[in-house]
Amino acid sequence: MGEGVNGQLVRADDETAFDLEERLQILTAFAGGIVFEFDGDGRYLRIWAGDTKLLVRPEAQLIGRTVVEVLGPSLGEKFRAMFRRVIETSTPAALEYSLDVGAGRRSFSCQARPHRRRNGRGLTVTLFVRDVTEQKELQAKLVQHERLASLGMIAAGVGHEIRQPLAFMQSSMEVLGREVGADAPPAVRESLANVENGARRIGAIVASLDLLRPRTDRVMRPLDVRRAVEAALDLSGNALEGRAHLVRLLREVPLVSGEEGELCQVFLNLLLNAAQAIPPGDPVHNAVTIETSYRGGAVHIAVRDTGVGIPTGIREHILEPFFTTKEANEGTGLGLYITSRIVESHRGKLEIESSPGNGTTITVVLPVANASEKPEPMPEATTAIRARIQRRRLSVLVVDDEPRVLESLRLVLDGVHRVVTADRASEGLELLREDPSRFDVVLCDLTMADTDGIAFFEEMSKMKIAHRFIVMTGGAFTDRAQQFLDRCVCPTIDKPFMIDDLLALLESVAQRRAPS
């Protein structure tokens, strides 16, 4: 609000001059802050500041002017009312405010105290001001952290509840597809494919909820980023309908190291944001362009729209959690926050170019994969996997307290392996205690009512058969469950899963040997 000159208190007149002892008291009591003296009308009388960048104007433009003239009527009148109250009651008062100063937008906390003039004629107000910008930012981050932690817990719980029915739905579709066969009418096969695609889309959306909590189970492999782009384009559905046409410029680029599902979520978020930035009504002249390129030793994936652009005043906030300019029913303010977190976890960065009325380009920049890393293997043909597995019929125990999941898994696996199911962990443990060598593989849900998968694994460890354990999870929504997944060496499979993936995992685990 005012300015210091060479660390000295600036004097406007001798009547209100502080003596040396008073000056030392002020500087000692408020080291590093700003000290102002005002009269009852809010006129600057003298100023001291340790950092002149925290002043709204140079000192010469402050001394003799009123706080209303300098700060404007809105904030200035608040100060003047506080000064008058301090003088009338001879009691201190406090105020917090934000102000554009030489150092940018800063937050301040101040305390006003009455001060008697040296000649005894009336009171002035001494104002002690502290820059609390960092403190406020830290408090805001802590609030955001708490909100995200709570949201992560809710998301994990919701995700678990969705994954359970989705798991038996996908298993049932596998059975239906097997029964229908290639001789089914085209309309039937097409309808079944549509249902399967819809289920995968639900699975991808649910999987994105996991990004609200820390993950340590990410598997990073070299991949062609265009696969993730194509998957995002498939998932974005008709988001552009009535708004814009799509332009694909997917040039061949080097492999990047990443997790394809997470990168798909990044591009899906950017595509949906681009679509929402374009008002409906003129799809011929509006476009969303997605382009891949290689330059500067990195892979660039740009999503460009011809929409309204990002207002200058909010651009610095768009990556903050819960920040949104959309209507309450259109967004949560988490899409770009999640996007930025995923990109950072891939050692990449986001570049944002925008101006109001001229559209926006958001570019994901990812490093090229290390040449020593092995590319993600392409999935084998379903018939080949099943033919290989069918050479050995395994004995499998499936433990889950959701009856429909048990039944769907039994139907899917029954023609391939010998399957025994248990809808309570205690029942499954009793079967193992009767004959620990009976089952080649134990497939157990992580979260159950009577005994969870963690306790089940510990009991199997005591029997020295933990190497046969596979944990199914619909999401870890407790610290205990997450810690188990982080440290456990046993294989895991996330619901909903593809049956071919499960069959391959069963075979792999059945071949494991007990640790010596």
Answer whether residue 345 shows pLDDT above 50: yes
Q: Which of 146-150, 244-248, 310-314, 449-453 has the lowest mean pLDDT?
A: 146-150
Q: In this structure, are residues 210 and 475 in contact, taking their beta carbons and an 8 Å threshold? A: yes
The one-character DSSP state at 62 is T
Q: Which of 83-97, 256-270, 332-346 has the lowest mean pLDDT?
A: 332-346
Answer whether residue 504 shows pLDDT above 60: yes
Answer whether residue 252 shows pLDDT above 60: yes
- Measured CA to CA, the distance from residue 394 to residue 401 in angstroms comes to 22
Q: Which residues, in sequence order, are bridge partners of residue 303?
A: 290, 362
- Segment 153-165 shows an average pLDDT of 66
Higher pLDDT, 430 or 498: 430
pTM, rounded to two decimals: 0.45
User: Among residues 283, 289, 287, 293, which one has the least CA distance to residue 251?
Assistant: 293
| Domains defined for the chain, CATH in brackets | 20-131 (3.30.450.20), 216-376 (3.30.565.10), 382-510 (3.40.50.2300)
pLDDT at residue 501 in the model: 82
17, 60, 169, 461, 462 from 457: Cα distances, Å: 78, 75, 27, 6, 9
User: Among residues 89, 95, 106, which one has the least CA distance to residue 36?
Assistant: 95
pLDDT at residue 319 in the model: 73
pLDDT at residue 48 in the model: 80
- DSSP three-state, residue 287: strand
Most confident listed range (22-26, 144-148, 308-312): 308-312
pLDDT at residue 142 in the model: 61
